[in-house]
Chains A and B, each alone.
Chain A
Amino acid sequence: MQKSLILSAAVAAVFAGGAHAEELTGTLKKINDTGIITVGHRESSIPFSYLDDKQKPVGYAMDLCHQVVAAVKKKLNKPSLVVKLVPVTSQTRIPLMVNGTIDMECGSTTNSKERQKQVGFSYSYYVTAVRMAAKASAGIKTLDDLNGKPVVTTTGTTSDRYIKQNEQGKAIDVKNVYGKDHAESFLMVDTGRAAAFVMDDILLASLIANSRNPKDFAIVGPALSVEPYGIMLRKDDPQFKKVADDTLAAIFKSGQINTIYNKWFMTPIPPKNININLPMSDKLKEAIKTPTDVGI
């Protein structure tokens, strides 16, 4: 007992004059030992995490993550901590997190109960609603208008599930078709192969903003599902999660979040200098007022 007391005292002494009251565990310990923090980012999740014209990862989530990294530097008292950026995809992000390649993932990852079996999540920094994009001239207002029509979703997403659930008990029959990625799904609506594209509203808004004639398209219908995005972390790693959560909470409380939000959602952004022009939703305002890490 006494031995371990002496030992921990010695350990505490080694660390910069007792800057940490607690012993480091999990990811923070790993970062402290190696002197490297590895951040996973996406390559085309506009405007959350994507490569700009200089192939540098930028975005709303990246801005927030840089502040978390700064907080880690401060907590470990290591201003020269090396930040390694690793690109991930929706298929690789969980295995790379679990096997220790990345320490945090900053992208557009839904905090779901299913994912929580493998990984952890910070407070939600964005809330998206699943809705439909259709040709403005097509006169589609609700799901009922889609009866008998082809509706496209992107492979690997769950949007078709929401259509199936909303079909139940109603006399509507929708034909599900699939695009390989969001750009292709949008092309299907553009060329008339599909009547509507069901997807997260933010992704629809940025696809429309980037199209040739943004006025030709409209985001319509009710929210089929509401999904929170969070920074993906390692599971059962309370010390590191606290750093991330405290950083986000501080950004939310100080109102700095509004500046960061406006920078990415309300003003022109690289690489094409297009303005997504999507005001903050009520759900997001709620999540900022009362930070939460509850998944769906």
Chain B
Amino acid sequence: MGQYQWNWGIILEEVYGTGEYYYQWLITGLGWTVATALSAWVIALILGSLIGTVRTMPNKWLAGLATAYVELFRNIPLIVQLFLWFFVLPEVLPEQMGTWMKQDMPMPEFITAVIGLGLFTSARVAEQVRTGIMALPRGQRYAGQALGFTLGQTYRYVLLPMAFRIVIPPLTSEFMNVFKNSAVALAIGVTELTFQMRQITGEYAPGNPIEVMTMVSVIYLIMAFSVNRLMAFIERRTQVPGYISGGSK
């Protein structure tokens, strides 16, 4: 039987006919992956905290609206959402705006991916923030109000500081997920890490797909694990002695 010709040095080789090297492609891809994931995470964290908080507010209308937002964005598959933003939205907008989105918007793939991934993740973050707030004993809310705090102050000084500490472990998972989910952005043409992997293993260096796929997997592993360690560090630094969120030591 045939023997697979292993060549781990493949990424150090020059891409025939371009003057570029495969490792440069992977580094470019890594750059876009990190940029997409971090930008999306900023959107997700800000919007998610806001929506999650609103879901626990006494005002039924606002809470209902926030619930609708969460259900909308977490019940549609991420890849479908990206398609909707990228292909469908420009067609249903007024023609001038649609044409602008398709032809003049700077970095259309990247911006669409960041917004799509950010909104999708924000729905998930919102649920976690809501869980954190609901996990607090009702007495804390009453205590805040008894001290004469307004609703805003009660959230700002009493509820949210503890709620965020409680949800650091699930937020860690979500932060790691945003890096892994960013691979879906290749579906609309963001030249991120998985895109570069498919590019190399497709027609450019079709002889050694296993090596390239393995290396890309290891890069994702390292990225996600770094996020994991960073969040563990934050968890340790912010823990309140004697409180439940003592977590990992």
Query: Which residues of A pack against B, CB within 8 Å?
Result: 30, 90-91, 94-95, 97-100, 110, 112, 114-115, 117-119, 150, 152, 155-158, 161, 164-165, 177-180, 184, 187, 191-193, 234-237
Contacts and interface: CB of A to CB of B under 8 A. Distances in A.
B97 interface: no
Nearest to B184: A180
A155 B17 contact: no
A91 B202 contact: yes
Interface stretch (B148-156, B160-168, B193-201): B193-201
B2 interface: yes
B207 interface: yes
Contact of B204 (A152, A158, A234): A158
Given A118-B5, A161-B17, A165-B17, A94 B91 contact: no
B207 A158 contact: no
A184 B86 CA distance: 11
Interface residues of B, number: 35
B210 interface: yes
A193 B102 contact: yes
Nearest to A179: B189
Contacts of A164: 17-18
Contacts of B207: 94, 114-115, 117-118
Given A90-B206, A91-B202, A155-B186, 17 more contacts: A94-B207, A94-B209, A99-B2, A99-B4, A100-B2, A112-B206, A114-B16, A115-B207, A117-B207, A118-B5, A118-B206, A119-B2, A156-B202, A158-B202, A161-B15, A177-B189, A234-B2
Nearest to A190: B87
Contact of A156 (B99, B188, B198): B198
A156 B1 contact: no
Interface string B194-222: 01001101111111111000000000000
9 contacts: A95-B4, A118-B207, A152-B189, A157-B202, A161-B15, A164-B18, A179-B189, A180-B187, A234-B1
B103 interface: yes
B191 interface: yes
B3 interface: yes
A97 B36 CA distance: 36
Contact of A157 (B16, B99, B102, B203): B203
Nearest to A100: B1
Contacts of A165: 17
Contacts of A152: 189
Nearest to B189: A178
Interface string B1-26: 11111000000000111100000000
Interface of B: 1-5, 15-18, 87, 90-91, 99, 102-103, 108-109, 186-189, 191, 195, 198-199, 201-210
B202 A90 contact: yes
A235 B2 contact: yes
Contacts of B199: 155-156
A240 to B, nearest CB: 11
Contacts of A177: 109, 189
Contacts of A184: 187
Contacts of B189: 152, 155, 177-180
Given A156-B201, A191-B87, A161 B2 contact: no
Nearest to B108: A193
A99 B3 CA distance: 7
Residue of B102, B204, B206 with most partner-chain A CB within 10 A: B206
A115 B207 CA distance: 5
Contacts of A98: 2-4
Given A156-B201, A180-B186, A118 B4 contact: yes
